[in-house]
C-alpha cells in the first residue's frame, strides 16, 4: 500500500510538472534566454574591443554573469511574474565609452575596467536599495517624456554607429582605406544585410522565434560559405570573422583577488564624470523600463519593491564583476502574451544564460562577428524607429524638437551631453510655460464682495460708492521668478488706473510657495504702492513670506503693509481704510451722505424700535446674560440655550473650520434652537462685551400657552431676522 501511495504521488507530481502551461513556459524561457544571450554577447564584444579585444572572452563572461544575476534575482523577487532581465543597452554603451577612454594597456587595462564595472554595479545597488528602502520611487519615476524618448532614440543612434564600427565601418582614414578589402567588406556586408533583413522580417512576421532561429540559421550559412570558399576556421578567426579570432581564455570567472593589485585607481578617478553618467543612465533606464513594463502590461507595480529587487540584483552581479541589470520590456511581455507569466519562465531564461556562461568558449568560438554586429544594428534601427520616427505623431512640435536635439547630441557628442542638454531645454520650456500661466486666480473689488463684518448703514453707503478703490487679487500656484515679475508689473500698472486705488489686497491662501525672486519683485511693488499712497493688505501669507517682507522692506514701507489671517480679515481692513479715507475727504458732504441713506436709515430705525418694544414685552419671560470680550455665546460643544437675541455689543459667527461667516449686532438673533437641547453647528464669539436675552424652550412653551400673540410676534421677528443671514439660518433648526 505504501508503494502505491508513492507511485500515485510520483505520477501526480509528473502530471503537474508536465502540464501544457509548464511546457510552454519552458519553451518561452529557453527562447527568451537565447535571445538575451545573443544580444548581450554582441554588446559585450563592443565593450571589450580595441585595446580590450584580447580579453573579450572574459568580458563576455562578466556581462553574462551580470545578466544571469539580474535575470535570476528579478525573476524570483519581482512583482511582475515572468520577468526576464539583463543589463540595459545604454548602460553597456556607456561602459564601452569608458573602456575606450582608459589610457592603459594589457592586464592593467582589463583589471581597471573590471574595477569600474564592479564599482558602478555596487553604487547602483546602494542607490536603488536606498530608494526602495525609504520609499522614494515617486521622486525619481517622473522623467519628462521628451527626455526619456530622446534618450532612447539617442541610444538607438549610438547602437547603430557602434554596430557599424564593430563591423569595420569607421569614419577615419585608416578604416576607410581598407573598407572594401575582401574580408572587411564581407564583415560589414553580411552584418548590414543581416541587421536590415532582420528588421524588415520583424515588420512582416511577429514571432518570438525569429531572432534565435535566424541567428542560428545565418551562422550555419556563414560556416557553409567559409567551407565553400576554402576559408579555414583559423583564417576566419585571424580575419576577424569569427569570435574565437578575437579572444582566447575562459569566460568566467574572469578575475581573481590577485587582479586587484593591477587596478590603476588614478585612472578610475579620472573616469568619475563618465561613471556618474553611467549611474544616471542606468537609473534612467530602470525608471523607463519599469514604467514601460507597467504601461505595456496595464498593471500597477510596486515601484519601491522593484527598486529593491533591482538593487539586490546589482549587488549580486557586482560580486561577480557583472554590470547592473533591469527588466527587459519586450522579452518580459512575451511571458504575458503567451500566458506563462510565472516565475518559472524567468528562471528558465536565467538557466539558459548560466549554461552559456559555463560553456561559453566552446560556443563562442563558432559565432560569426558580422552577425553580432547585425543584431546590434537591428536593435538600433528598431529603437530609432520607435522613439524618433513614430513618436512624431504623438507629441507636440516643441517636445519633438527636444527629442531630435537629444538624439543628435547623444549620437555626436555622448550621453552626458545629450541628457544634460535635454534636461536643460525641458526646464527652460517648463519655466516659459509656467511663466505664461496667470497666477491671479480671480480679481474683485470691495463693491463686489464684502467682509462678514456688520456695518452701519452710512458705512455701507460709503463702500457702495468707494468700493472700486479697494482691489483684491486672489493668487494661486507657485509664484516664482517667471511669474513673479509679470505679477508685480501688473500690480504696479493698477496703481495708475482711475479711480486710483486706496487699497490693494493680495490673497495668498491658494499659493503653494514663493521664491525669493518673486518676493523681491513684490517688494518693489510695495515700495511703489507706498509712493502712490496705496495701502497693501497681505492675506494668508505663510510665516516665511512675512519674514522675507520684514527683512527686505524699509520700516516706512512695511508700516504701509498690513497682514491678515484670511481674506475676510484683509477685506475688513480694506473697508476700514476706504471708510476712513472717505470721511477725511468729505466731512463737508455729511448731509449729502445722509440724504442718500435716509430710506435705509429709516427702515433700520423702525426695526430697532420694533426690537426694543419686543424685548420690553418679553421682559418677564426672558433671562438677561452678559459676556466679556472673546467669550463664546454659542459653542458647538455645548447644548443650546434656546432663543437668544443680542441687545448690546457685537459678535462674530464662525464655521467648523474657524472661518468667520458673518457678524451680529444689536437686534440680531444669535441662536434659535427651539426644539430642545441640541448642540449648535457653529460658534458665536463676542468681539466686544455683549448683552443678550434668552428664552429657554420651557419659557417659550409657557409663552405660547399664556400669550400666543406675543409668541407669534417673536417668531415673525426671528424669521425676518434669519432672512438677512441665510447661512446662519441654515445652521439653526
What band does 733 get if pLDDT is binned at 50, 70 and 90? very low
Q: Could you tell me if 347 and 400 lie in one domain?
A: yes
CB proximity list for 235: less than 8 A, separation 6 or greater: none
Q: How many CB atoms lie within 10 A of CB 356?
A: 25
- The Cα–Cα gap between 68 and 44 comes to 14
Residue with cell 578589402: 181
Cell numbers at residue 59, please?
Answer: 568580458
Q: Are 62 and 321 contacting, i.e. CB atoms less than 8 angstroms apart?
A: yes
State the average pLDDT over residues 715-727: 68
pLDDT category of residue 729 using cuts at 50, 70 and 90: very low
Q: Name the domain boundary from 594, 626, 653.
A: 594
Which pLDDT band holds residue 53 (cuts at 50, 70, 90)? Answer: confident
Q: Is residue 133 part of a domain?
A: yes
How many angstroms separate the CA atoms of 303 and 135, rounded? Answer: 8
d(CA 91, CA 322): 12
pLDDT at 588 over 60: no
Task: For residue 368, count CB atoms less than 10 angstroms from its CB and return exposed for 0-12, middle for 13-18, buried for 19 or more.
Answer: buried
Which strands form 651-654's sheet, in the order they lie side by side? 632-634, 683-686, 651-654, 660-664
Q: Are residues 44 and 113 in the same domain?
A: yes
Q: Is residue 172 part of a domain?
A: yes
User: Model confidence at 279, in pLDDT bands (50, 70, 90)?
Assistant: very high
pLDDT in tens, 174-210: 777 778 888 888 888 888 998 899 889 988 887 767 7
Q: What is the mean pLDDT of the chain?
A: 83
CA distance 564 to 577: 14
Is 432 part of a structural domain of the chain? no
Maximal CA-CA distance, the chain: 129
Total domains present in the chain: 3
Q: Which three cell numbers, joined as nine digits, stand for 236? A: 576566419
Residue 564, strand partner residues: 539
Contact predicate 164/49, CB 8 Å: no
| Residue that terminates a domain, selected from 575, 594, 613 | 594
- Whether 430 is covered by a domain: the verdict is no
Which residues does 481 contact at the CB level (< 8 Å), separation at least 6?
515, 517, 518, 521
- pLDDT at residue 363, as a whole number: 64
Q: Is the pLDDT of residue 522 over 70?
A: yes
* Residue 365 to residue 245: CA distance in whole angstroms: 7
Q: In this structure, what DSSP letter does residue 453 have?
A: -
Domain-located, residue 94? yes
| Same domain, yes or no: 174 and 274 | yes
If asked whether residues 398 and 541 sit together in one domain, one would say no
Q: Is residue 676's pLDDT more than 50? A: no
Quick one: 407 and 444 in the same domain? no
pLDDT-based confidence at residue 172 (cuts at 50, 70, 90): confident
What average pLDDT does range 470-489 have in this prediction?
Answer: 90
2 occurs within a structural domain: no
Output DSSP code: residue 227: H
pLDDT for the residue numbered 334 = 66
Asked whether residue 560 is domain-assigned, the answer is: yes
CATH number of domain containing 704: 2.60.120.10
φ/ψ of 314, rounded to 5, equals: -65, -40
Neighbours of 467 (CB within 10 A): 19
CA-to-CA dists, residue 579 to 71, 322, 533, 564, angstroms: 77, 78, 15, 18
* DSSP-based three-state secondary structure for 632: strand
Are 253 and 331 contained in the same domain?
yes
What confidence tens digit (pLDDT) does each residue in 73-114 have? 999 999 999 899 999 888 998 898 899 899 998 899 999 999
Find the mean pLDDT for residues 628-640.
82
The answer to whether position 493 is within a domain reads yes
- Specify the DSSP element, H or E, that contains 326: strand 326-327
Provide the pLDDT for residue 246: 39
Closest CA to 219 of 27, 93, 42: 42
Are 120 and 229 in a shared domain?
A: yes
CA distance 491 to 507: 13
Q: Is cis: bond before 677, omega within 30 of 0?
A: no
Q: Are 267 and 112 in contact (CB under 8 A)?
A: yes
C-alpha gyration radius of the chain: 40
**Residue bearing cell 444669535:** 670
The pLDDT > 70 percentage for the chain reads 87
Determine the pLDDT at residue 19.
67
Contact 667, 454 (CB under 8 A): no
Same domain assignment for residues 332 and 456 = no
User: pTM here?
Assistant: 0.60
Alpha-carbon gap, residue 235 to 151, rounded angstroms: 40
328-371 residue pLDDT tens: 876 787 677 667 788 999 999 999 899 888 876 566 677 787 88
Residues 472, 646: Cα–Cα separation, whole Å: 32
The confidence score (pLDDT) of residue 256 equals: 77
Query: Got the DSSP string for 187-202?
Result: HHHHHHHHHHHHHHHH
373 and 452 together in one domain: no
Of how many residues is the chain composed?
Answer: 733
Inform me whether the pLDDT recorded for 476 exceeds 50. yes
pLDDT at residue 63 in the model: 92
* 537 and 652 housed in the same domain: no
- Which of 533, 568, 594 terminates a domain? The answer is 594
For residue 641, CA distances in Å to 52, 664, 677, 721 come to: 92, 18, 7, 18
Whether residues 100 and 244 share a domain: the answer is: yes
Residue 456, domain extent: 440-594
Classify each residue of 281-301 as buried b or exposed e, where b means 16 or more C-beta atoms within 10 Å of its C-beta: bbbbbbbbbbbbbbeebeeeb
Domain CATH number, residue 576: 3.30.750.24
Q: Kindly state whether residues 482 and 585 are assigned to the same domain.
A: yes
Amino acid at each position: 500500500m505504501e508503494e502505491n501511495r508513492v507511485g500515485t504521488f510520483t505520477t501526480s507530481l509528473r502530471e503537474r510538472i508536465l502540464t501544457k502551461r509548464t511546457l510552454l513556459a519552458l519553451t518561452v524561457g529557453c527562447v527568451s534566454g537565447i535571445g538575451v544571450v545573443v544580444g548581450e554577447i554582441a554588446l559585450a564584444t563592443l565593450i571589450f574591443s580595441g585595446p580590450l579585444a584580447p580579453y573579450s572572452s572574459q568580458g563576455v563572461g562578466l556581462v553574462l554573469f551580470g545578466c544571469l544575476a539580474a535575470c535570476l534575482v528579478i525573476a524570483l523577487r519581482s512583482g511582475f511574474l515572468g520577468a526576464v532581465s539583463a543589463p540595459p543597452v545604454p548602460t553597456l554603451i556607456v561602459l564601452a565609452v569608458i573602456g575606450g577612454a582608459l589610457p592603459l594597456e594589457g592586464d592593467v587595462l582589463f583589471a581597471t575596467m573590471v574595477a569600474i564595472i564592479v564599482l558602478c554595479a555596487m553604487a547602483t545597488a546602494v542607490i536603488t536599495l536606498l530608494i526602495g528602502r525609504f520609499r522614494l520611487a515617486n521622486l525619481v519615476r517622473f522623467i519628462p517624456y521628451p527626455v526619456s524618448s530622446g534618450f532612447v532614440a539617442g541610444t538607438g543612434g549610438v547602437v547603430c554607429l557602434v554596430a557599424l564600427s564593430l563591423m569595420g565601418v569607421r569614419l577615419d582614414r585608416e578604416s576607410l582605406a581598407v573598407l572594401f578589402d575582401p574580408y572587411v567588406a564581407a564583415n560589414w556586408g553580411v552584418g548590414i544585410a543581416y541587421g536590415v533583413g532582420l528588421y524588415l522580417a520583424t515588420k512582416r512576421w511577429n514571432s518570438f522565434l525569429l531572432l534565435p532561429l535566424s541567428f542560428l540559421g545565418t551562422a550555419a550559412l556563414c560556416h557553409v560559405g567559409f567551407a565553400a570558399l576554402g576559408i579555414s576556421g583559423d583564417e576566419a578567426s585571424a580575419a576577424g570573422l569569427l569570435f574565437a579570432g578575437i579572444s582566447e581564455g575562459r569566460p568566467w570567472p574572469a578575475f581573481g583577488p590577485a587582479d586587484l593589485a593591477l587596478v590603476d585607481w588614478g585612472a578610475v578617478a579620472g573616469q568619475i564624470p563618465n561613471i556618474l553618467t553611467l549611474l544616471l543612465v542606468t537609473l534612467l533606464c530602470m525608471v523607463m523600463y519599469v514604467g514601460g513594463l507597467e504601461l505595456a502590461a496595464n498593471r500597477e507595480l510596486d515601484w519601491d519593491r522593484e527598486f529593491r529587487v533591482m538593487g539586490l540584483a546589482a549587488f549580486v552581479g557586482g560580486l561577480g564583476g557583472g554590470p547592473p541589470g533591469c527588466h527587459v520590456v519586450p522579452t518580459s511581455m512575451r511571458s504575458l502574451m503567451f500566458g506563462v507569466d510565472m516565475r518559472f519562465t524567468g528562471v528558465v531564461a536565467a538557466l539558459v544564460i548560466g549554461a552559456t556562461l559555463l560553456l561559453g568558449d566552446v560556443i563562442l568560438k563558432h559565432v560569426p562577428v558580422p552577425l553580432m554586429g547585425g543584431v546590434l544594428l537591428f536593435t538600433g534601427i528598431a529603437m530609432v524607429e520607435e522613439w524618433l520616427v513614430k513618436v512624431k505623431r504623438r507629441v507636440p512640435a516643441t517636445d519633438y524638437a527636444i527629442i531630435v536635439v537629444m538624439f543628435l547630441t547623444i549620437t555626436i557628442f555622448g550621453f552626458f551631453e545629450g541628457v544634460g542638454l535635454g534636461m536643460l531645454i525641458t526646464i527652460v520650456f517648463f519655466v516659459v510655460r509656467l511663466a505664461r500661466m496667470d497666477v491671479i486666480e480671480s480679481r474683485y473689488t470691495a463693491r463686489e464682495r464684502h467682509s462678514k463684518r456688520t456695518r452701519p448703514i452710512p458705512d455701507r453707503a460709503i463702500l457702495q460708492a468707494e468700493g472700486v478703490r479697494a482691489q483684491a487679487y486672489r493668487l494661486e500656484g507657485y509664484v516664482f521668478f517667471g511669474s513673479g515679475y509679470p505679477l508685480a508689473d501688473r500690480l504696479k500698472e493698477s496703481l495708475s488706473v482711475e479711480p486710483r486705488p486706496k487699497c490693494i489686497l493680495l490673497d495668498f491662501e491658494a499659493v503653494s510657495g514663493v521664491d525669493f525672486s518673486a518676493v523681491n519683485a513684490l517688494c518693489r511693488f510695495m515700495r511703489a504702492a507706498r509712493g502712490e499712497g496705496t495701502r497693501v493688505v497681505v492675506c494668508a501669507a505663510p510665516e516665511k513670506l512675512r519674514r522675507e517682507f520684514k527683512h527686505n522692506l524699509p520700516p516706512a514701507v512695511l508700516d504701509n503693509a498690513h497682514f491678515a489671517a484670511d481674506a475676510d480679515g484683509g477685506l475688513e481692513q480694506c473697508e476700514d481704510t476706504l471708510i476712513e479715507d472717505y470721511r477725511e475727504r468729505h466731512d463737508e458732504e455729511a448731509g449729502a451722505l445722509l440724504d442718500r441713506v435716509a430710506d435705509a436709515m429709516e427702515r433700520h430705525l423702525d426695526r430697532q424700535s420694533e426690537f426694543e418694544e419686543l424685548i420690553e414685552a418679553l421682559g418677564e419671560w426672558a433671562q438677561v446674560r452678559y459676556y466679556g470680550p472673546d467669550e463664546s455665546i454659542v459653542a458647538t460643544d455645548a447644548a443650546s440655550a434656546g432663543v437668544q437675541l443680542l441687545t448690546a455689543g457685537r459678535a462674530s459667527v464662525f464655521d467648523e473650520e474657524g472661518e468667520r461667516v458673518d457678524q451680529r449686532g444689536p437686534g440680531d438673533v444669535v441662536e434659535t434652537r427651539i426644539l430642545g437641547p441640541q448642540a449648535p453647528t457653529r460658534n458665536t464669539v463676542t468681539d466686544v462685551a455683549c448683552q443678550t436675552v434668552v428664552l429657554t424652550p420651557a419659557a417659550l412653551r409657557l409663552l405660547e400657552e399664556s400669550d400666543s400673540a406675543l409668541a407669534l410676534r417673536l417668531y415673525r421677528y426671528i424669521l425676518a431676522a434669519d432672512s438677512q443671514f441665510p447661512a446662519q439660518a441654515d445652521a439653526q433648526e
